[in-house]
Structure formats: C-alpha cells, structure tokens
C-alpha cells in the first residue's frame, strides 16, 4: 500500500505538467490569422521574383479569414499620441490674410488692409514640372478672379510686404462644351467623390480621425470594407490598381529613369477617362508636387489628365517653402475647400473628383489628427447642402503606416496591409430598388476579401447605372475564379482567396 501511494505521488505531478503543457500548446495554436511573413522589404522591390511561389500554392485554396484588430493593441498603442496643432492653427500666430478669394471666386481685401497695393500674376501648367506666368496686374477689392485657376499675389503697405498664392476652380470651357453634348437624360448621372489619405490603416484612421469616421458611419451611412487588403507597397501600387485595374508591371513602362518610358496618359487606361468620355467634369487633386504619386518615380502626364489638376498649384506652394500652411491657412483646409468648390461650380453637370492628400500623414503617424475636425466639418457641410444626395462618396487610404518600428510588430504588419476604405452610395440611388440591392451587397461584402482591383469594376458599375436599370444582375454572384476585379456592389463569393483577388502571399493578411 505504501508503495502504491508513493507511485501516485510521483505520477500526479507529471500528469499535471502534461495537462499544463497541452493547455499552453493549444492556446498558442488556436486557429487565428497566419502570421504575415515579411520576406522582402521595400529595398527588394522591383526584383521581380520574390520567392513567394511556394507560399502562394499554400494559400491558393485557403478561404480568407479576415483578421480582427484591436484599436488599442498593446503592441502598437505606445506609438500614438495627440499631435501638436499646426502653427497656423494657433490663434494669433499669423496675421489674418490681407487678400483672399470668396466662395464666388471674387478677390476680397481684409478690412485692415483695404489700402494695400496688390499685384497678381496668373500661372498655369506647361507640363508636370513647370508652370507659365502671365503679366503682372494690379488688383483691387471686388475684382473677379477669372483669368485662370492659379495666381501668385504680392501686396505692399507702408514698409510691409505680404505674399500668397490663390487657387480658384474657374469653370473649364472645354468641360462645359463636352457636357453640353450630353442628352438631357444623360446629365442625370451619379457623381463620384473620393477623398484619399496617404498611409492610414483602418485602425489608425479610426484613431486619428474619429469625428470623421463617426460622421461617415453614423450620418452618411458609409460602409467600411473590413476585408480590404493592399496588393503592393506604396502609393502608386495602391492607386494604379484603383484607377486602372492593373499593376504597374502589367502596364507599359512609365518609369522616369528609362528613356523608352511613356507618359502615363499615353498608356494607362485611367478610369477617369471613362468618365470624361461620358461627359463628366473631372478633377485629380494631390497636395504635393515633388512627391506626386505619378511623377516622383514615374514619368507623370504629358497632357493634363483631368479638367482640374492641383499639381500646378502645389509646384508653386513648394517653391515658396510653405509646409502645412500658407500664411494663416492650413493647406488641408484649402484642399478641402477647393474640393467643395469643384462640386458646387459644376452643380448641373456630372462630376468625378479624386482628391488625394499626403502632406500631413505621409511622414508622421500622429499629425493627421490635426485635421479631424476640419474633414468632419467639410463632409457635414457637403452633406447638408445636398451635394452628396446624388454622389457616391469614397473616403479611403492607400495603405497603412510604413514606419519601421511599427512594422516590426505583428499588428503593425497587418495594419500596413489593411488601409481604411469606406463607401457610401448616393442617397437618391439608395431609394431605388436597384440601389437597395447594391447597398445590401456592399454591406455583405464589407466582411469579405476585397482589394484595390475591385474599385474600378465598382466605379464602372456606377458609371453604367443609368443604362442598366435591371436589378437582377446586381443579384448575380460574381465568378472570383475567372475575374480578379469584382464589383463591391454585386455579390462576392465568401471563399474568395488572396490568389483570386490578385493579392500576393506577402501582402495577404488572411
């Protein structure tokens, strides 16, 4: 008996240890998202083969399981803090503008500087790198600003000098002529309104722009695509698929350094061309010149690609040495204002606007927080003035943060691959039978795997809406095994794989 007791004394702890081991093992091996493998960094980009073949086969038949991230994830939370306001957001730091443009595009002098002597010079695009300048003219309060879209201004009063740059959405005769050719019923088309932000994961967008997200989700009824997964590293790798449904390597060479390279407008099937060909007025508005998405590493456009194109303005903003402010005005507010003015100036014509900003978010993971209030207010105004009633509104980012320290964490890697992407259908469309079906599909697709390649297919659906009013094809399940680009307004298969969606293993988060 004593012997037996003695044995149990030895065996029980062993069994206990074994149980603990099994428990711990299970906890670590519970089926969660597979770890993202960082097999190549930005430096290896362009090498072509990245050794992903094997992993690709593994993933080929794998149904996508979208990772759920914690906005306060302990691995990353220490990176985020409230930003210091911009210099020009601090009251009293800068004097009021001596001269400005009002909403009607009329030049106004401030009360304090009524007597200032102001000279103005219009400027315009010659090509993506250079501007042309008109003669110097004197302006006074109440003068119309209609000799172009951009101008530089110098004012003098006593010994003081004050300078600024002006930007107006002056209606383009060419665009108006083009739209006149539309038949009356064709003029009733839905507008496309896209606000894009550089380097904001869904999580960071929610962290830094909470008021904006609240407005989108609670007032506008936007759907945030939780399974939206990038297909490459960097802004062009996001925007090229969004605008052409192809990758840079699938398209003809457009890289600056190569003599045989073509300009983008000569060889890229940009989606805004489809809109232009359908009578839309178009705008592409970035807030950076040197780091322009299509002109830093790529060759840019020979002809101006859209009716309105802010690159011309920002060339001179950058040569003034302004950073995030022009005098007392935050640049993001000017950018939002012009975006609004574009939608107003062409109120009776179909519009396509793609605004993309990088100034605040490209080099800093916290600074973009300074514009939350302004972006939310902008969207609120647009909505309350009815400008979104007949517009699809997309608020999006290209990819998440790419800062080394953040990317060293697992959550950081997942966040980089999962940018913010939200869509709201036009109010007027949502009231139709077809619109109801599209809205239902969009909401269901929010939890499925989607990618930048899906955006052009979706935008073409919007463009073709007036022609196909049948709702039955909006109910048709799309074939993910034969088509890389699927519309988010039609059913997307639940078992769509990264390979089918054109997402290489390296970027696949599920």
Ligand X SMILES: *[C@@H]1O[C@H](CO)[C@@H](O)[C@H](O)[C@H]1NC(C)=O
Q: What is the DSSP string of 235-250?
A: HHHHHHHHHHSS-GGG
Buried b (16+ CB within 10 A) or exposed e, 465-487: beeeeeeeebeeebebeeebbbb
Q: Which is nearer to ligand X, 339 or 458 (CB)?
A: 458
Judged by CB under 6 A, the residue of 269, 381, 405, 468 near ligand X is 269
Q: For ligand X, what does the binding mask look like between residues 450 and 489, x meaning CB under 6 A?
A: ----------x-----------------------------
Window contacting ligand X (CB under 6 A); options: 125-133, 184-192, 268-276, 466-474: 268-276
* Min dist. Cβ of residue 90 to ligand X (A): 47
Helix and strand numbers (H, E) in the chain are: 16, 16
251 neighbors 239 (Cβ within 8 angstroms): no
Q: Which is nearer to ligand X, 3 or 482 (CB)?
A: 482
Rounded to 5, what percent of the chain is helix, strand, coil?
A: 35, 15, 45
Q: Which is nearer to ligand X, 222 or 485 (CB)?
A: 485
Window contacting ligand X (CB under 6 A); options: 248-256, 266-274, 406-414, 439-447: 266-274
Q: What is the DSSP string of 248-274?
A: GGGS---BTT-TTPPPHHHH---HHHH
Total number of residues that touch ligand X (CB under 6 A): 4
By CB under 6 A, tell whether 274 contacts ligand X: yes
Task: With H, G, I as helix, E, B as strand and everything else as coil, classify residue 128.
Answer: coil
Q: What does the block give as tokens for 194?
A: 């896209």
**What is the spatial distance between Cα 443 and Cα 134, in angstroms, rounded to a whole number?**
51
By CB under 6 A, tell whether 267 contacts ligand X: no
**β-bridge partners, 151:** 122, 166
Q: Residue of minimal CB distance from ligand X?
A: 274
Neighbours of 112 (CB within 10 A): 11
* Min dist. Cβ of residue 306 to ligand X (A): 14
161 neighbors 98 (Cβ within 8 angstroms): no
* Min dist. Cβ of residue 202 to ligand X (A): 28
Binders of ligand X in range 381-420 (CB under 6 A): none
Q: Which is nearer to ligand X, 154 or 273 (CB)?
A: 273
By CB under 6 A, tell whether 273 contacts ligand X: yes
* Min dist. Cβ of residue 464 to ligand X (A): 7
Window contacting ligand X (CB under 6 A); options: 235-243, 267-275, 300-308, 361-369: 267-275
Contact footprint for ligand X (CB under 6 A): 269, 273-274, 460
């Amino acid at each position: 008996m004593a012997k037996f007791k003695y044995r149990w004394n030895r065996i029980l702890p062993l069994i206990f240890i074994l149980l603990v081991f099994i428990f711990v093992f299970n906890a670590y091996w519970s089926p969660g998202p597979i770890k993202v493998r960082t097999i190549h960094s930005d430096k290896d980009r362009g090498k072509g083969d990245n050794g992903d073949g094997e992993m690709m086969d593994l993933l080929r038949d794998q149904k996508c399981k979208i990772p759920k991230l914690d906005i306060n994830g302990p691995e990353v939370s220490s990176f985020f803090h409230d930003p210091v306001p911009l210099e020009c957001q601090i009251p009293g730091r800068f004097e009021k503008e001596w001269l400005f443009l009002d909403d009607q595009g009329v030049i106004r002098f401030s009360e304090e500087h009524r007597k200032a002597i102001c000279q103005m010079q219009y400027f315009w695009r010659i090509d993506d790198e250079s501007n042309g300048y008109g003669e110097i003219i004197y302006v006074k309060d109440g003068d119309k600003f209609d000799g172009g879209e951009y101008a530089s201004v110098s004012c003098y009063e006593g010994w003081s000098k004050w300078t600024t740059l002006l930007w107006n959405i002056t209606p383009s005769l060419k665009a108006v002529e083009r739209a006149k050719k539309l038949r009356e019923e064709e003029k009733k088309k839905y507008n496309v309104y896209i606000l894009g932000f550089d380097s904001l994961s869904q999580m960071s967008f929610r962290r830094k722009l909470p008021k904006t997200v609240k407005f989108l989700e609670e007032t506008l009824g936007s759907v945030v695509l939780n399974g939206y997964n990038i297909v490459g590293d960097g802004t062009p790798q996001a925007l090229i698929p969004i605008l052409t449904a192809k990758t840079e390597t699938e398209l003809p060479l457009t890289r600056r350094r190569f003599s045989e390279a073509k300009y983008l407008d000569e060889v890229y099937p940009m989606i805004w061309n489809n809109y232009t060909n359908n009578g839309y007025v178009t705008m592409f508005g970035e807030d950076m010149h040197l780091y322009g998405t299509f002109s830093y590493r790529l060759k840019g456009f020979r002809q101006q690609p859209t009716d309105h194109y802010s690159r011309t303005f920002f060339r001179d903003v950058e040569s003034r040495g302004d950073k995030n402010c022009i005098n007392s005005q935050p640049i993001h507010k000017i950018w939002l204002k012009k975006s609004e003015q574009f939608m107003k100036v062409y109120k009776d014509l179909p519009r396509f606007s793609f605004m993309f900003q990088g100034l605040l978010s490209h080099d800093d993971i916290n600074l973009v927080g300074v514009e939350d209030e302004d972006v939310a207010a902008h969207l609120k105004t647009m909505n309350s003035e009815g400008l979104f009633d007949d517009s699809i509104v997309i608020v999006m980012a290209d990819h998440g943060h790419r800062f080394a320290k953040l990317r060293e964490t697992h959550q950081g890697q997942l966040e980089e691959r999962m940018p913010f992407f939200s869509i709201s259908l036009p109010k007027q469309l949502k009231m139709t039978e077809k619109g109801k079906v599209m809205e239902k599909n969009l909401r269901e697709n929010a939890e499925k795997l989607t990618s930048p390649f899906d955006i052009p297919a979706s935008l073409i659906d919007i463009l073709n809406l007036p022609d196909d009013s049948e709702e039955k094809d909006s109910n048709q399940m799309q074939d993910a095994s034969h088509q890389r680009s699927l519309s988010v307004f039609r059913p997307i298969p639940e078992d769509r794989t990264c390979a089918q969606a054109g997402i290489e293993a390296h970027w696949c988060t599920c």
